[in-house]
């Protein structure tokens, strides 16, 4: 007879991510809202926000970054691949399709 852990491992879906994720809490600017990232990778970002989004939608986001060289912003276009209700907030997973990293001029 299989243990609960063994059953859970069998049911787990195969990993679809190609890039390593990094846990990071970074400000996200959206057209009609804002949020905070939970994790980011070269090919995607997961953030939480108070605004509802629909899976399959296109989205433009800007992630604010601070580096030793100064403030930066990562402007991304992507597709929402998953949405999750997290209490009163919405978790949004985005597959990045295009991005530009630039310095913020003071």
**pLDDT of 37:** 97
Q: pTM of the predicted model, to two decimals?
A: 0.80
**pLDDT of 67:** 87
Q: Cα(first)–Cα(last) distance of the chain, in Å?
A: 64
Give the phi and the psi of residue 53 in degrees, each rounded to 5: -135, 155
At 9 the three-state DSSP class reads helix
CATH 2.40.10.220 matches 19-103: yes
Provide the token pair at 85: 């209700």
Provide the token pair at 65: 């970054």
pLDDT tens-digit profile, the chain (106 residues): 555 555 555 554 555 556 789 999 999 999 989 999 999 999 999 999 999 999 999 999 999 999 898 999 999 999 999 999 989 999 999 999 999 999 998 6
The per-residue pLDDT for range 26-53, each reduced to its tens digit, is 999 999 899 999 999 999 999 999 999 9
7-32: b (≥16 Cβ within 10 Å) or e: eeeeeeeeeeeeeeeeeeebebebee
Count of CB atoms situated within 10 Å of the CB of 45: 26
| Rounded Cα–Cα distance for residues 75 and 31 (Å) | 12
């Amino acid at each position: 007879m299989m243990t609960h852990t063994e059953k859970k491992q069998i049911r787990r879906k195969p990993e679809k991510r190609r890039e390593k994720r990094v846990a990071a809490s970074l400000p996200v600017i959206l057209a009609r809202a804002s949020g905070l990232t939970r994790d980011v990778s070269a090919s995607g970002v997961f953030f939480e926000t108070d605004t509802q989004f629909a899976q399959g939608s296109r989205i433009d986001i800007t992630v604010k970054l601070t580096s030793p060289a100064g403030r930066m912003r990562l402007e991304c276009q992507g597709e929402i691949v998953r949405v999750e209700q997290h209490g009163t907030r919405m978790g949004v997973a985005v597959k990045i399709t295009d991005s530009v990293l630039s310095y913020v001029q003071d």
